[in-house]
Structure 1
Amino acid sequence: MSEDSEDHRCSSLSVPPSTQDHIQGLLNATVALVMYGDYQCSHSADIYRLIKGIQRQISASLEKRNFCFIFRHFPQVKIHPQAQHAAEAAEAAAAQSHFWQMHEMLFSHQQQLGNGYLIEYANHLGLNISPFLQDLSRGVHIDRINADIESGNQSGVIAAPALFINGIRYSDCSNKAQLTAALIGIN
């Protein structure tokens, strides 16, 4: 695979973080981590769990305001056929101010992303099911997801997960100790 050559071709974030993103923390934080992820990808889930652990460490050290986490969709539908629909469910939940709760639910149950499960998750989160289902059936959030994918493509992303720390591509996602050190070290 030519992922390394892609990393060298484009190693910076083309679309900077904005209020249009799904954000935990403040946009003007010292460290901004952007993750392009796929809800059906086990490696995306592993990296997300690692990031959650790092967020807990940062919170414990009273540096929470210095860390911003942003999630952008990058469903890889050729290998993960339910990833797109899961991303749409996350956006439908976001329309009811429950993005992060649904995001968590999808990564926690990524082997169960069929329609019935998505409705079950929405029920569990207390979402209004009628607008949730209407959003899914009408494809209301597809443009938003496609914008995330396009911004990833512009930044050289070819697979999820892909991370950018302060706008620079972080290519060694699999080395958890180094990622932790990179994020905490900047902070």
Structure 2
Amino acid sequence: MPKGFKTRPSASFGEDYLCLIFRHFPQTQIYPHAQRAAQVAEAAAAQGKFWLMSDTLFDHQQRLENGYLVEYANDLGLDIPQFLKELSKQVHVDHINEDIEGGIQSGVTTAPALLINGRRYIGHWNTTELMAAMIAASR
């Protein structure tokens, strides 16, 4: 586990499995709505729709104002009163800030970033090189 990243409940699959762990690292200086989008994704996650919301936010990254965000949540069938309550109370901000801090402590400066067995991977993101890096990291 990279320095600074707290573990969250997860399943143990054994050595032949790949486990992808997503962490937030909003770059608000480049993307002004990134922090709010991270909160929206986490509010959707609380209702089991993290990846659907993440895909929606990515597909509509030029339209991330509040009205659009509620529209996306509604389109995904989220409980809108619960969704709005979590956003207004900023329920997920601490979680996102922990991800940011953990990323900084692990040397992350931009997103996306990839760590393999706790080490920052800076090679090419193609199948051959990623597989080689994963095999090397597993030894």
Higher helix share: 1
In structure 1, the partner of 2:125 is 176
Task: Specify the code of the residue in structure 1 equivalent to 2:102.
Answer: S
- 1:79/1:70 Cα in 2 relative to 1: closer, same or farther (>3 Å)? same
- Cα deviation for residue 183 of structure 1 reads 3.3
Aligned with 1:93 (options 33, 41, 44): 44
How many residue pairs align between the two structures?
Answer: 134
Q: Deviations over 1:107-148 (max 9, x none)?
A: 222222111121111111110001101111111110000000
In structure 1, the partner of 2:33 is 82
Aligned with 1:103 (options 46, 54, 67): 54
Pick which of 143-152 and 98-107 moved more: 98-107
- 1:29/1:100 Cα in 2 relative to 1: closer, same or farther (>3 Å)? farther
- Cα deviation for residue 165 of structure 1 reads 1.2
- Cα deviation for residue 19 of structure 1 reads 3.1
Q: TM-score, normalised by structure 2?
A: 0.83
Higher strand share: 1
Task: Specify the code of the residue in structure 1 equivalent to 2:7.
Answer: S
CA-atom RMSD in angstroms: 2.2
In structure 1, the partner of 2:8 is 19
Q: Distance in 2 between matches of 1:120 and 1:27?
A: 37
- For structure 2, which runs of at least 5 residues remain unmatched after alignment? none
In structure 1, the partner of 2:102 is 151
- Cα deviation for residue 16 of structure 1 reads 5.2
Identity, in percent, stands at: 52
